[in-house]
């Protein structure tokens, strides 16, 4: 193993964390978004609106005659996505080039929230409203709003009111564009105001205060071109204000939505949210299925919000029985079920947002609560009317369930309690996190005497996602340890070549583990490792940390530096191994900045520039020994991390697998995690 060591203490300290407009005022319009049907006739400034017509459209979602006009509002909080990469400006250009019919679809955008705009027509010093015209290169400013902070509810309300007052339409829809952080962190970072964001309460205020809602109308659909907003909590919030919600459970790739959908949306044949959901989701999936740089993971779903209350009822029933078990001492069983559930927004081991797929959660808890699980699953299927994903166990709607991110659990649970969500679930969350953050439930004093290593050349038992094996590593757990065991990873450390100070580097870790009924924890020792390479033949060693493992796949990340950026950034390259990609495939490249001003996940996945230097990071340790010559505990080893030698990128970046040299000295380390999220490094087997 070759490694180039760092001389800069500053760099080392960073990496050690690892971590033109119609101005005529309209006087009302027939709208498929009308929600108050308690009167046979309704009026708005003298213009009658037909109850029967709107009721039929609302209930039966029938197609319109072709004369319908949709008004689409796009609230674009530019943030660092725009100032650093011009992603908002790119999407505006996509809208202009989409070929939509301007007589059928009015696209009105609100811009702000960024220190710099790449589009020359947009100023960073104001929050302004523009109409996007199909086929035109420039956009004309309509007005400047009084509000300057896009993370203030009044600013969003002012935008909605302006469009509602100045544009006639058969329905109104809204896209919220920027960062998203789910139920806890909310939506939208205004870069000009210390990355302030709109909480769920702020979004509720902004919508409820708008004239459109006050006049008894709904949005036909609301969509989030933002990460992690496809959640039950978000659906519950928007249920009084919109007929449909279109959002993603997972991180949104850097290029965001594919706005070519605007042309199909403007054909005048249908203005309903279910139709819009299919058009938007199909365009989104098609774009990323054929993405030329790598294979990004994506999810996007359309939810019928009229089904929200039924899902909430079934969800409360489900949680109520789980709460009974929780207070009866079944914490560890529930924690393991939660730990096995599909989670979203995981960038590395230390960056996660504790949102999990609700349907998959019911699958994992089915044996404990079969009746309640089946009822909730049926309700979810009725609510999620259309979805596409290339991610296993993503079913269209997520829920916040704190578990992995213990560092922020108290702060985030307090913030979550402000969401005005289910009181039943809030009580469950507080009881669960009390044990999660409490004293350890068991002791993990396991030594080398409890571990055995069996080397066997037979690899016939390899499963998909397992990167090869040369033997078995086993540890005997006590009954108490087994009852509170959550997961474990086996790490392979290899001695550095040409180093005489006892330096070892990490090649890979894997959670391909099994706990037998009698408490034997075992794992296959892999005989493969990853390398980064390009299409011209350049190669570089790298180490890989496992993020997730399913029945037929595994995902990893590796850390690299890249000099195409003006700032000192590291990147997390995500790698997936499955039956279609047995040697791995890159699914995303995510920037990581230690002093970031926002805790939101980065929608800003990147593509490295040609000719830039790709330099993988090496996690190294100088191994310490006891006086008797035995290996000292892992936490006494001296950090000796640095960089592998890299290469100048020439062609497409990719990943491959190579054999681990069987003749170089290695150490095998078990990292056990209990159901409270506590990690224990078991003494090393050599």
Flag whether pLDDT at 534 surpasses 50: yes
User: Which of residues 425 and 295 earns the better pLDDT score?
Assistant: 425
Segment 533-558 mean pLDDT: 94
Segment 214-227 mean pLDDT: 97
* Per-residue model confidence (pLDDT) at position 192: 96
Flag whether pLDDT at 209 surpasses 90: yes
* Per-residue model confidence (pLDDT) at position 65: 38
Flag whether pLDDT at 64 surpasses 90: no
Segment 573-594 mean pLDDT: 90
CA distance linking residue 567 with residue 318, whole number of Å: 48
Q: Which residue has the tokens 């058009």?
A: 279
Flag whether pLDDT at 602 surpasses 50: yes
Q: What is the mean pLDDT of the chain?
A: 85
Flag whether pLDDT at 437 surpasses 70: yes
pLDDT tens for each residue of 266-282: 987 888 999 999 999 99
Instruction: Classify the C-alpha dihedral 428-431-437-440 as positive or negative.
Output: negative
Q: For the ranges 173-182, 431-440, 673-682, which has the lowest average pLDDT?
A: 673-682
pLDDT tens for each residue of 409-434: 999 999 999 999 999 999 999 999 99
CA 490 from chain centre, in angstroms, equals 26
Q: Which helix (H) or strand (E) holds 173?
A: strand 171-177
Residues 295, 405, 443, CA angle at the centre, nearest 5°? 120
Q: Could you tell me what percent of the chain has a pLDDT over 90?
A: 66
Report the topology of domain 67-305: Rossmann fold (3.40.50)
pLDDT tens for each residue of 326-371: 999 999 999 999 999 999 999 888 889 999 999 999 999 999 999 9
Question: Which residues, other chains included, contact 94 with Cβ-Cβ below 8 Å and sequence gap of 6+?
Answer: 258, 259, 260
* Per-residue model confidence (pLDDT) at position 2: 52
**462 falls in which pLDDT band (50, 70, 90)?**
very low
336 class by beta-carbon count within 10 Å (0-12 exposed, 13-18 middle, 19+ buried): middle
Q: Coil, helix or strand for 204?
A: helix
* Cross-strand partners of 514: 522
CA distance linking residue 215 with residue 27, whole number of Å: 12
The β-bridge relationship of strands 343-344 and 242-247 is: unpaired
User: Which of residues 498 and 319 earns the better pLDDT score?
Assistant: 319
DSSP 316-380: HHHHHHHHHHHHTT-HHHHHHHHHTS-EE---BTTB---EEEHHHHHHHTTTTSHHHHHHHHHHH
Q: Coil, helix or strand for 635?
A: helix
Flag whether pLDDT at 634 surpasses 50: yes
* Per-residue model confidence (pLDDT) at position 31: 35
Contact 223, 175 (CB under 8 A): yes
Contact 594, 607 (CB under 8 A): no
Contact 572, 589 (CB under 8 A): yes
* Per-residue model confidence (pLDDT) at position 270: 86
Flag whether pLDDT at 323 surpasses 80: yes
Q: Coil, helix or strand for 303?
A: strand
For 634, which DSSP code? Answer: G
Contact 321, 369 (CB under 8 A): yes
Flag whether pLDDT at 44 surpasses 90: no
Segment 185-208 mean pLDDT: 96
Segment 177-196 mean pLDDT: 96
Q: For the ranges 232-241, 360-369, 454-463, which has the lowest average pLDDT?
A: 454-463
Flag whether pLDDT at 619 surpasses 70: yes
- Distance set, CA 271 to CA 190, 305, 463 (Å): 31, 16, 48
pLDDT tens for each residue of 136-162: 999 989 999 998 999 999 999 999 999
Flag whether pLDDT at 631 surpasses 90: no
* Per-residue model confidence (pLDDT) at position 98: 97
Q: Could you tell me what percent of the chain has a pLDDT over 70?
A: 84
Residue 420: how many other CB atoms lie within 10 Å: 13
**317 falls in which pLDDT band (50, 70, 90)?**
very high
Segment 535-549 mean pLDDT: 95
Q: Which two tokens stand for residue 141?
A: 């400013």
* Per-residue model confidence (pLDDT) at position 564: 65
Q: For the ranges 33-37, 471-475, 549-553, which has the lowest average pLDDT?
A: 33-37
CA distance linking residue 564 with residue 552, whole number of Å: 35
Question: Which residues, other chains included, contact 195 with Cβ-Cβ below 8 Å and sequence gap of 6+?
Answer: 79, 189, 597, 598, 600
Segment 613-625 mean pLDDT: 91
Q: Coil, helix or strand for 622?
A: strand
* Per-residue model confidence (pLDDT) at position 67: 60
Domain boundaries of the chain, sorted by first residue: 67-305, 310-384+392-436, 442-685
CA 669 from chain centre, in angstroms, equals 30
Q: Which two tokens stand for residue 587?
A: 């699914």
* Cross-strand partners of 48: 43
Flag whether pLDDT at 452 surpasses 50: yes
Q: For the ranges 39-48, 444-453, 593-602, which has the lowest average pLDDT?
A: 39-48
**17 falls in which pLDDT band (50, 70, 90)?**
very low
């Amino acid at each position: 193993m070759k490694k180039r060591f760092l001389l800069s203490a500053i760099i080392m300290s960073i990496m050690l964390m690892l971590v033109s407009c119609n101005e005529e005022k309209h006087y009302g319009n027939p709208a498929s978004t009308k929600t108050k049907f308690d009167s046979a006739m309704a009026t708005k400034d003298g213009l009658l609106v037909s109850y029967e017509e709107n009721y039929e459209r609302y209930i039966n979602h029938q197609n319109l005659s072709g004369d319908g006009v949709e008004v689409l509002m796009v609230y674009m909080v530019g943030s660092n996505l725009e100032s650093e990469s011009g992603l908002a400006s790119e999407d505006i250009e996509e809208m202009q080039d989409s070929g939509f019919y301007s007589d059928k679809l009015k696209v009105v955008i609100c811009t702000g929230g960024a220190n710099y705009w790449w589009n020359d027509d947009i100023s960073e010093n104001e929050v302004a409203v523009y109409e996007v015209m199909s086929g035109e290169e420039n956009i004309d400013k309509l007005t400047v709003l009084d509000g300057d902070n896009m993370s203030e509810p009044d600013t969003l309300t002012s935008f909605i009111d302006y469009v509602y007052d100045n544009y006639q339409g058969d329905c109104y829809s809204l896209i919220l564009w920027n960062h998203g952080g789910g139920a806890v962190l909310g939506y939208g970072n205004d870069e000009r105001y210390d990355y302030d964001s709109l909480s769920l309460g702020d979004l509720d205020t902004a919508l409820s205060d708008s004239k459109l809602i006050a006049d008894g109308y709904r949005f036909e659909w609301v969509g989030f071109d933002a990460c992690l907003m496809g959640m039950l909590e978000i659906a519950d919030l928007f249920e009084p204000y919109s007929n449909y919600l279109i959002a993603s459970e997972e991180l949104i790739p850097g290029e965001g939505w594919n706005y070519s959908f605007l042309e199909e949306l403007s054909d005048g044949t249908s203005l309903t949210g279910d139709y819009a959901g299919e058009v938007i989701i199909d365009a989104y999936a098609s774009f990323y299925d054929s993405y030329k740089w790598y294979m990004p993971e994506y999810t996007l779903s359309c939810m019928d919000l009229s089904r929200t209350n039924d899902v909430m009822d079934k969800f409360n029933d489900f949680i109520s029985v789980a709460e009974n078990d929780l207070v009866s001492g079944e914490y560890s069983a529930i924690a393991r079920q939660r730990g096995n559930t599909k989670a979203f927004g995981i960038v590395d081991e230390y960056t996660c947002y504790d949102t999990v797929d609700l349907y998959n959660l019911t699958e994992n808890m089915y044996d404990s609560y079969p009746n309640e699980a089946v009822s909730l699953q049926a309700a979810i299927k009725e609510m999620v009317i259309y979805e596409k994903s290339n991610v296993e166990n993503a079913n269209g709607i997520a829920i916040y369930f704190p578990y992995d991110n213990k560092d922020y659990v108290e702060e985030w649970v307090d913030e979550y309690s402000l969401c005005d969500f289910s009181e039943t679930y809030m009580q469950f969350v507080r009881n669960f996190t009390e044990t999660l953050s409490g004293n350890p439930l068991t002791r993990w004093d396991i030594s080398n005497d409890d571990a055995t290593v069996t080397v066997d050349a037979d690899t016939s038992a390899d499963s998909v996602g397992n990167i090869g094996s040369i033997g078995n590593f086993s540890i005997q757990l006590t009954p108490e340890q087994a009852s509170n065991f959550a997961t474990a990873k086996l790490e392979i450390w290899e001695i550095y070549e040409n180093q005489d100070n006892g330096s070892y580097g990490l090649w890979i870790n894997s959670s391909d583990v099994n706990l037998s009924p009698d408490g034997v924890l075992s794992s296959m020792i892999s005989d493969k490792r990853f390398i980064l390479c390009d299409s011209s033949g350049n190669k570089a060693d790298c180490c890989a940390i496992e993020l997730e493992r399913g029945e037929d796949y595994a995902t990893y990340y590796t850390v690299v530096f890249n000099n195409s950026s003006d700032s000192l950034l590291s990147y997390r390259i995500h790698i997936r191994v499955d039956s279609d990609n047995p040697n791995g495939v890159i699914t995303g490249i995510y920037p990581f900045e230690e002093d970031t001003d926002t805790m939101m996940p980065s929608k800003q996945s990147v593509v490295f520039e040609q000719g830039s230097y790709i330099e993988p990071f090496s996690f190294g340790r100088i191994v310490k020994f006891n006086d008797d010559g035995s290996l000292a505990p892992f936490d006494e080893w001296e950090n000796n991390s640095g960089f592998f030698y890299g290469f100048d990128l020439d062609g497409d970046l990719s990943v491959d697998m190579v054999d681990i040299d069987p003749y170089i000295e290695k150490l095998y380390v078990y990292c056990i995690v209990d159901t409270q999220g506590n990690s224990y490094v078991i003494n090393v087997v050599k």
